[in-house]
Amino acid sequence: MQAVSIPASVRLSTFYSNPLNIIRRMDAAGVSGFVLFNRLFEPDIDLEKEELCSPFNLSHDTDYRLPLRYAGLLEGTVRASICCSSGFLEGEQVARALLAGADVVQVVTALFKSGVSHIQTMRRDLDAWMGEKDYASASDCRGKLSKRHLNDPFAYTRGQYAALLMNPREGLEQYPVP
Ligand SMILES: Cc1cc2nc3c(=O)[nH]c(=O)nc-3n(C[C@H](O)[C@H](O)[C@H](O)COP(=O)(O)O)c2cc1C
């Protein structure tokens, strides 16, 4: 990182065997920001024509959970800024990213689907949520639900998943299958 004088961010792959380890090493090397995560192009197969095709690969509305988890794990543990990317389609998902500890989010799919003016809708909905919660600025809520700030941080680990499987009836009551 000493080779450049401008801030440099890294858009990370999801395929590291230990993402937190590589992030901490890059943070120590002076990276200015981490984008969670890069998404490589994924071709599909057209069954009728039996040939490869190139769909847009737009995001789905729960894709934000992976970057959300890593933002929550990283908040307060790295010097670099944390950027969430993938599945941030509405203002409420941006609010979740802030609570987990993100500094910023990137938005592509929402703009493809709804047009660039959708950013204003997301901003308005985020402002409305912050108003309801009496947050005057993003820094008032950023990281409030990061691993560092939770008394019981197991939602960020596999522990919570195992607990749900041990009590499936209770889990289904709390999180009904849509
Ligand atoms: C049409 C399209 C073009 C994209 N082009 C690039 C690109 O050139 N470089 C890149 O790093 N990501 C590219 N992406 C991936 C997006 O930057 C982003 O990682 C992905 O769309 C997930 O974010 P989203 O949920 O906001 O769409 C592209 C995505 C789409 C849908």
CA 140 to chain centre: 19
Give the number of domains in the chain.
Answer: 1
Q: Which of 108, 109, 112, 113 to mutate to test the pocket of ligand 1 (most atoms within 8 A of CB)?
A: 108
In contact, 101 and 82? CB cutoff 8 Å:
yes
Kindly indicate the confidence band of residue 133, based on its pLDDT and cuts at 50, 70 and 90.
very high
Neighbours of 118 (CB within 10 A): 17
- Residue positions counted in the chain: 178
Predicted TM-score (pTM) of this structure: 0.91
7-82-77 Cα angle (round to 5): 105
Parent domain of 142: 9-147
Q: What is the pLDDT of residue 135?
A: 97
Q: What are phi and psi of 83, to 5 degrees?
A: -115, 125
Residue 115 within any structural domain of the chain: yes
Q: Measured in angstroms, how far is the CA atom of residue 35 from the centroid of ligand 1?
A: 12
Q: What is the pLDDT of residue 75?
A: 97
CATH number at residue 118: 3.20.20.70
Q: What is the pLDDT of residue 177?
A: 80
pLDDT surpassing 70 at residue 159: no
Residue 36's beta-bridge partner residues?
12, 84
Residue 174 within any structural domain of the chain: no
Kindly indicate the confidence band of residue 151, based on its pLDDT and cuts at 50, 70 and 90.
confident
